[in-house]
Amino acid sequence: MDAHSLDFWLGEWDCSWDGGHGVNSITREFDGRVVVERFEARGPKAFRGMSLSVFGEATGWRQTWADSNGSYWHLVGTTLADGSPVFATPERIDAERVYKRMVFSDVEHGRFRWRWESSPDGERWQERWAIAYARRA
């Protein structure tokens, strides 16, 4: 991943998933080195969260996520073999003691798919949540 790997994500988004919907606002700040995400899930399971993704020449992308459910994760940026951007935990985390990652895929103009996955060993991944993103008009 390079300094512009997250450019597709910038903007205002409508998000939908099985059983819910929300919005996400993504901005670039601090001389372009920090991408700030503000996510809001609406409906019966409403919550809010935000992430800071920071790019360093020597470290690449790193992300910190926190939300109104009390979740906190530190993730490291990489790519899958197909070039899809990924942020993954470098170790097993929280009470589940599993690796977690988010995968951006099927990136097209004005839309993409996001997946939250977990793995007991960092190799066998199971999808836990999938969101369809559509750019707000």
56-65, 92-101, 119-128: which range is least confident on average? 92-101
pLDDT in tens, 77-105: 998 888 889 999 888 767 778 999 999 99
pLDDT given for residue 52 in this prediction: 97
State the pTM of this model: 0.90
User: Is residue 73 a contact partner of residue 97, using CB atoms and an 8 Å limit?
Assistant: no
Strands in 10-94 per DSSP E: 11-17, 20-29, 34-42, 47-56, 60-67, 72-79, 85-88
